[in-house]
Amino acid sequence: MTTKSPMTINGAQQLRDQLHRLKTRERPRVIEAIAHARSLGDLRENAEYAAAREQQSFIEGRIAEIEAKLAHAEIIDITLVNANGKVVFGSTVEICKLDDDQGITYRIVGEDEADARVGLISIKSPVARALIGKTAGEVICVKAPGGEIAYEILSVRYE
């Protein structure tokens, strides 16, 4: 039995949009490129054909991957969760690094949605694991390659 992977509504929509684009634009474009390359003759020495087939393989693989992710996703609407101020999946958490008062805002999301550059961290990341279940005002310690880093939780939002 495959376990469900948590995903935000936004993350699921992004995957659906990508799937739609692959099926309605990319797949037909590559099929057309294969047909054109076939019309050029000998397929054994046809670089256009080989490149188009490789691209088709990539697109079909990505379509299957996205469909599997969506099929095994547990889509969570954070606005409907009553977490009583605790950090949960989908929460937006403002934290402050205690040694230099540097503020950071993270949203805890599924693995496929994570992008730390824009403040989206995976539920499986060390920071997210340390935050889960905590409330504003608590201090957490995160083990990093350079040693432990202490953060204070400033606020928890469900948006």
Residues 72 and 82 in one domain: no
Residues 11 and 50 in one domain: yes
Task: Tell me the per-residue pLDDT of 53-83, one tens digit each, with 9 for 90 and over.
Answer: 999 999 999 999 999 999 999 999 988 887 8
Residues 64 and 107 in one domain: no
Q: The domain spanning residue 61 has which CATH number?
A: 1.10.287.180
Nearest to 155 by CA among 86, 89, 90: 86
Residues 153 and 131 in one domain: yes
Residue numbers of the domain that contains 86 = 78-157
**Residue finishing a domain among 27, 46, 76:** 76
Task: Tell me the per-residue pLDDT of 9-59, one tens digit each, with 9 for 90 and over.
Answer: 999 999 999 999 999 999 999 999 989 888 877 767 778 888 899 999 999
* pLDDT over 90, % of the chain: 70
- 3-state SS, residue 140: strand
What are the helix and strand counts (H, E) for the chain?
A: 4, 7
Cα 106 to Cα 91: distance, rounded to the nearest angstrom: 8
**Residue finishing a domain among 76, 108, 132:** 76
How many domains are there within the chain? 2
* pLDDT over 70, % of the chain: 97
Nearest to 46 by CA among 57, 35, 58, 56: 35
